[in-house]
Structure 1
Amino acid sequence: MDRLETTSVLVTTLILQGLLLCLLATTDSLALLLVGAAVLGSLFAISAPALFTLLPIIVESSQSPLVSTARANTVMECIRGSGSLVGPVLGGIMVAQASTSAALLIDAATFLIAAPAFYASGIRRLTPKTSKTHQFLEGALAGIRVLSQDHLFGVVLPVLTIVVFATSVSDVAFIFYVRGPLESGSIAYGVLEAMWGGGFICGALAGGTSVLERRLALSALVGAALTGVALLLTGYFRRWE
C-alpha cells in the first residue's frame, strides 16, 4: 500500500466492488456468488486500509486546532456506523418487499458514487518514486520483518485475527439465529444488524472523548470484554425462556 498512490487504489477498488455487485445481482449461480463474495472480501481488505491511510492526510490538511486524528476517526466511525444502522434495515425491507437483486444493485450504486467522489476530493498521498518490482517486494518483506520483530505487534495481531474470525462466525450465526430461535425474516435480520451500527456510533462517540483518548489501551480492553459478554448473553438468550 505504501508504494502506491492511495487514492487511486481506493477509487479502483471501489469501482471493482461496484461492478462486481452489479454482476452478482444478475446471477443465480451459487458458485459465482461464492467466488464473488470472496473477491469482494479481498477488495474490502484493500479499500479499508487505503481509506484509513488517507485519514492522517485529511487531519494534516485541516487548519483547525480542534481537529485531531482521534476525533477524525470518531467522525469516520460515526458515518460508517450510520450506514450500518440504516443500511441493514433498508436492505432487509428491500429483500422482503422486492428482491435480493434490487438490494445488491443499490449497494453497487453506493460504491460507484463514492469512487468519483473520492477522486474529485483532491486528496493525494505522496509515494516513493521507486516502483520497480524487486523494490516493491523488498518493501513488502521489510514490512514483514518489522511485524515479526515488534513484540507488541506479535501480541496484537494474533488477538485481532481471533477477534475478526469470531466476528465473522457470529455474522453467519446471526442469520440462523433469526431464522431459527427468533422465527423471523429479512426485516428482523436487518434490524438486528442495525443494532451493530448503533453500537458503532456509541462506541465511536465515546472513543473520541478526551477521557478515553488518554486511555486507549484500557478503552480497547473494556470494549472487547463488553463485546464478548454481549455475544455470550445473546447465545444463552433462549435458555432464559
Structure 2
Amino acid sequence: MGFGDFVRRHTADTRPLAIPAYRRLWAGQGVSFIGFQLTSVAVSAQIYDVTKSSFWVGMLGPANLIPLIVFGLWGGAIADAVDRRRLLLVGALIAWAGTLALLVQAALGSTSVGLLLATVAVHATGFAITGPTRGAIIPRLVPADLIPAANTLNFLVGGLGTVIGPLLGGIVLAQSGFAAAYLIDALLFGAGFYAAVRLPRLEPIGEVTRPGLRSVVDGLRYVSGHPVVLMSFVVDLIAMAFALPRALFPEIVDERFGGSLVAFGWLSASIAIGSVLGGVLSGWVGRVRRQGLALTYVIAAWGLTVAAAGLADQLWLMVALLAFGGAADLVSAVWRQTILQTHAPDDMRGRMQGVFMVVVAGGPRLGDLRAGGTASWFGATWAWVGGGLACAVAVVAVGLAVPAFRKYRPLARSV
C-alpha cells in the first residue's frame, strides 16, 4: 500500500465538501461554533466568579436542558413539516438574541445569577431549534453513501470550534473580560447565518404531519419501536450523564492550578482536541460493521479515560487523557448520527434529530448537574473519578444486554 492509499484509507473523507450547499453550511457552522463555545466557557467562568460554587456552575445544566427538551423535540417536529431553511434562520436569530443579552449584562456589570441562567435558557432555545434542523438538512444535501463522511466532517469542525473557542476564551477572559468574549461570539454568528441564507428551499417531502404533541409522540413511538435507535440514545446518555466532568473544571483549576484561566481554557478544550484528532484520522470509521458492539466498547473507553484524568495532577496529562476520551466520543457520535439518518425516512428525520439533539445536548447538561451535585457531597476529585468508572460499568452492562444492538450492522438506505 502506497502513502497515498494509506492517507485515503485512514484520514477524513472530504468528498462531501465538493457539494457547494453542504460546504457553505459546514464552514459557517465551524466559524459560528467557535463563538458558541467561547460563550459557553465565559458563562461557566462568570458564574463561578460570582458564586465560587461548582453547584451553581452545575445549574447551567437544567438551564440548558429544559429548553433543549421542549424546543428540541418541538423543533424537530416542525422541521418535518416546514421549509427547513427558514426554520434554521429563525432558530439562529433566537440564539443570537441570547448572546446579545449576555453581552449587555456583562457590559453593565450585572452579577445576577438568576438573570444569567435565564439568558442561557434563551440561548439554548435557539440552539435546540437549529440543531435538529441542521441534522435533518444534511441527508437532503449529500447522497446516502456520503452521509457518514458528512457527519464526520461536521463533528470534526465542531471539535475544532470546541478547541479554538475555549483556548481563545482563556486568553480573552484573562485580557479583556466577559463582555469581550460575548462580543466575539456575536460577530462570529454572521458566518453561520450567511450559510443558512444561501441554502436552497427545503420543503418537506413524503407524508407531512402537523407539528404538535401528536407528531412529537409519533417520533418517540418510532424510537421506542426500534431497539437499535433507542439504544444509541441510551448509551450516549450514560456516557455524558455519568462521566462528563465539565462542571468541575473551574473548581479543579482553582485547587490544582491556582485558578489559572489559561489552564481552564486548556481543560475546556481538551476533549475537543481529541475529537479533532479522531476526526482527522477517521477514514476507518465507515468500515466498521459491528457498530453497536463497537459503540459499547468505545464509550467504556471514554469512561475509563475520564476517570484516569481525574487522578492526574499535571495539566498536560489531564489534557492528554481527556483528549483520548474525546477521540472515542467523536467516533461514537459519528456512528450514532449515521444510524439515525440512514434508519429513518425523510418525513421522520427532523423528529429523530430532535430526539438526538435532546440527548446529545441534554446529556452533558445532566452531566453538569450530576457533577456539580456530587462534588458538593464528595469533593470534585471523587465526583470526577467516580463518574468515569460508573460510566464504563453501566455502558458495558446495558450495551451487551440488548441483542439487536450488540449485533447491529448498518444497511444502506436511499435518501
TM-score (norm 1): 0.83
Task: Report the CA distance between 1:215 and its aligned residue.
Answer: 4.1
Find the counterpart in structure 2 of residue 35 from structure 1.
Answer: 118
Aligned to 2:154: 76
Equivalent in the alignment of 2:250: 175
Offset, 1:93: 0.3
Deviation at 1:124, TM superposition (A): 2.3
**Alpha carbon RMSD of aligned pairs, Å?**
2.7
User: Which residue pairs with 2:91 in the alignment?
Assistant: 13
Separation of aligned partners in 1, 2:198 and 2:301: 40
C-alpha spacing 1:125/1:236, structure 2 compared with 1 (3 Å): farther
1:151 is aligned to 2:199: no
Instruction: State the alpha-carbon separation in 1 of the partners of residues 168 and 209 from structure 2.
Output: 44
Q: CA deviation at 1:140?
A: 2.0
Cα distance between partner residues in 2 of 1:125 and 1:185: 49
Deviates more, 1:89-98 or 1:171-180: 171-180
Which runs of 5 or more residues in structure 2 are unaligned? 1-75, 315-415
Residue identity in the other structure for 1:163: A
Matched, 1:139 2:222: no
Aligned residues between the structures: 232
Indicate the larger mover: 124-133 or 139-148. Answer: 124-133
Q: Structure 1: how far apart are the matches of 2:258 and 2:91?
A: 37
Residue 312 (structure 2) aligns with:
237
Q: Are 2:186 and 1:103 aligned?
A: no
Decide whether the 8 Å contact of 1:18 with 1:109 is kept in 2. Answer: no
In structure 2, give the amino acid aligned to 1:217: G
Aligned to 1:122: 200
Which of 248, 251, 263 is the matching residue for 1:188? 263
Conservation of the 8 A alpha-carbon contact between 2:98 and 2:120:
no
Q: Given residue 141 of structure 2, which amino acid in structure 1 is its aligned partner?
A: I
Mapped partners of 2:138, 2:286: distance in 1? 22
Distance of 2:288 and 2:154 partners within structure 1: 16
Distance 1:164 1:199 in 2: 16
Contact 1:22 1:104 in 2 (8 A): yes
Identity %: 25
Give the TM-score normalised by the residue count of structure 2: 0.51
Name structure 1 gaps, 5 residues minimum.
62-66
State the Cα deviation string for residues 151-195 of structure 1 (Å, max 9, x = none).
33443333322333235x511111211122232422211122222
Change (3 A) 1:32 1:141: same
Q: Which residue of 2 aligns with 1:85?
A: 163
Task: Give the whole-Å Cα distance in 2 for the aligned partners of 1:73 and 1:195.
Answer: 21
